[in-house]
Structure 1
Amino acid sequence: MRTIIFFFIACFLQNVFAAELPKLLQEIERKYTQKATLEVEFVQENTSATFGKKTTTSGFIRIRRPNKVRWETLKPSSDMNLMISDGRKFWFYTPPFDEGEHGQVIERKSAQVQSQLAQALLSGSFSKAKGMSIKQESETRFTLVPKKGTAGTVRKAQIQVDADQKLITKVTLENEGGNRSEITLSNIELGKPLGDEYFTFNPPPNTDRIKD
């Protein structure tokens, strides 16, 4: 599902006071925000409510505070794509399917793409959630419900954490239509040097450019 990453990044989140966060989330937030970068491997499983079909993709997510993101889907090859933001511009690139075809890149100003969801849930900046209710379902699982009208079709999000290591290990989104996206995170590295080359994009030759 090529659009799921774009949708995930473009969804929601604004600001809850840290004092309202469950204690464990406060501890995780402190650990994450002390580091300037985050690199993780992900496996994403998308479930279509309409067709009852599941698709699985995997790759890497890299984030550099305050506003740089690189989300790279590598497998399967038929779903390879790349989402990058340097804080000013946003690129969503899909390579050509076959030799001789053109790839495509969608280019927008970052202000047109609300990346708060990715940067909040994945980078542990939970205090940047506004108009959200947060419920602790178990020692390591939390449900976040956005205020109606603030999150597009997203009905709720869930996060799973490692309480001992203070790490975020899974993020799940459920949509009003019943579609579900589950992102499992592994090999989590905080504070790894990530240069500007990760967060800029020069389209390859024979790439169709779409600017909004």
Structure 2
Amino acid sequence: MAIDEQENEPKTSLGRLTRRSFLSHVGAATAATAIAPLASSSASAEGAPTEAASTKIPGTVPITLRVNGQSHAVQIDPRATLLDTLRETLHLTGTKKGCDHGQCGACTVHLNERRINSCLALAVMQQNAEIITIEGIGGLETLHPMQDAFVEHDGFQCGYCTSGQIMSAVAMVKEPWGKTDADVREAMSGNICRCGAYPNIVAAVQAVRRMS
């Protein structure tokens, strides 16, 4: 006596399970899984931000930096240097990263009217300081006299060290150095130019010093 194949097929709460019904259920489950995140993100966009979006990065601290006359509230790693915070967090990329060891001067900025290597300063320690970067001393329409002098005297070639050179030179003019070219070279010795534009840099600095 022949056995009906359908009688041997397993049954579920949805009825008799066939190959067609199994594939149908799997397809419906897959579609639901794919659509659920989209529906969730759509609801989040219309309502309050999701918890993940509002969660702060573990290990960071809130600080406020005053840069170029503006206050910036940021969340940073407490180990972050002022250089990296300026470039990566505030997106002020005029300050360049050269050696990252305080030896080339490409990262020179002004901190409370004094020039420093920003790669050697922790950002978290500068909350009450007035920080000036190359973006803060002049723009395309109103160049700082030192920027004008660097252009006039060809005080740069590749330009990578130029922002640090200019920031150091602006500070140096206000410092008690002698009047000779040798004095300028000594005062600017912390700023390295791989292209070797030193004679033109000295000429630019001296031109500004004669104006003041």
Higher helix share: 2
Relative contact order, higher structure (CA 8 A, sep 6+) = 1
Q: TM-score, normalised to structure 2's length?
A: 0.23
Q: TM-score, normalised to structure 1's length?
A: 0.23
Higher strand share: 1
Larger Rg: 2
